[in-house]
Amino acid sequence: MRAFAIGEVIASQNPRFKAGDHVQGLFGVQTIYTGPITGVSKIDPSLGPPERLLGGLGMPGLTAYIGLLHVGQLTAGETVLVSAASGAVGQIVVQIAKLKGARVIGIAGGPEKCKRVIDAFGADDCIDYKSENVGARIGALCPDGIDVYFDNVGGEILEAALAHIRQRARVVICGAISVYNDPALMVGPRNYLQILVKSARMEGFVIMHWADKYAEAQANLAKWARSDKLVFREHVETGIENFPQVVNMLFSGANTGKLVLKV
Ligand SMILES: NC(=O)c1ccc[n+]([C@@H]2O[C@H](COP(=O)([O-])OP(=O)(O)OC[C@H]3O[C@@H](n4cnc5c(N)ncnc54)[C@H](OP(=O)(O)O)[C@@H]3O)[C@@H](O)[C@H]2O)c1
């Protein structure tokens, strides 16, 4: 089972690594990794605890920063909509957008998560997609439309967001968690012509393809975290035997922030 992980080197035949080094890579869901070192890199454990290096300062942080600022090209004063806003990537998108002077509306499941998106991460408002009409609420909260939609969920919420984009909007396709488990849902968006009539742009990205921006992103994320402008929340579970239940938390929404399994 593929998984991004961090760990400690026990032994290596490669001179770049020695026992005791802390490393990150696609090590999979297992307690010991043996294999090629392609994509394996050293990490500095003094930057934070392991869950932080996998969370705010790791892949979710990089995804939020690069997706919002490089793909989304956010500028101050714009209106940003973020789905899965209490999740690992979404909560960092919300905070960076606020730091950059945007008005930010989150979308999350349930009143507790929505409250957290506003109180802990600083969104101006949050739509509860489990109990509210998302399209109507976007219209009410963003009467002049959305400049950047950071999409983590796809499906009907993407369509609802597209219906409210402004001229020259940017729709950042980061993920589509609402349709991953059901190919029948992988249709549309039916109203994609909004992209045409609004002279908008819809662009997907895979974080692995943006390695040239990692250093800039990590430096800024760490700087904002040090000055308390950015808070990270990780959700740590333990025990490799619990992996099947833990991974399903992502789909039930039971996780609060970056979901990390300690094995
Ligand atoms: N492009 C890239 O390189 C890249 C990198 C990392 C992650 N991603 C993608 O980014 C997205 C977010 O990842 P993450 O790590 O931050 O996960 P996450 O947000 O920590 O967890 C997923 C969240 O999605 C929400 N969700 C689940 N099913 C949903 C549904 N049917 N409709 C609406 N929301 C639903 C749940 O929150 P609620 O309780 O609020 O529903 C859940 O907590 C995922 O789609 C992931 O695949 C992309």
Joined together, the tokens standing for residue 65 give: 């920063």
Give distance in angstroms: CA of 155 to centre of ligand 1: 12
Note if the bond before 183 is cis, omega within 30 degrees. no
Tens of pLDDT along the chain (263 residues) come to 989 999 999 999 999 999 999 998 889 999 999 999 887 888 888 878 889 889 898 899 999 999 999 999 999 999 999 999 999 999 999 999 999 999 999 999 999 999 999 999 999 999 999 999 999 999 999 999 999 999 999 999 999 999 999 999 999 999 999 999 998 888 889 999 999 999 999 999 999 899 888 889 988 998 999 899 999 989 999 999 999 999 999 999 898 889 999 99
Ligand 1: residue of 112, 152, 171, 208 to mutate (most ligand atoms within 8 A of CB) is 152
Residue 122 beta carbon below 6 angstroms from any ligand 1 atom: no
178 lines ligand 1 (CB under 6 A): yes
DSSP annotation of 122 reads -
- The alpha carbon of 20 and the centre of ligand 1 are apart by a number of angstroms equal to 33
Q: Which residue has the tokens 């922030």?
A: 257
CB atoms inside a 10 Å sphere around CB 180: 15
**Closest ligand 1 atom to 86 CA:** 40
* 221 close to ligand 1 (CB < 6 Angstrom): no
206 touches ligand 1 (CB under 6 Å): yes
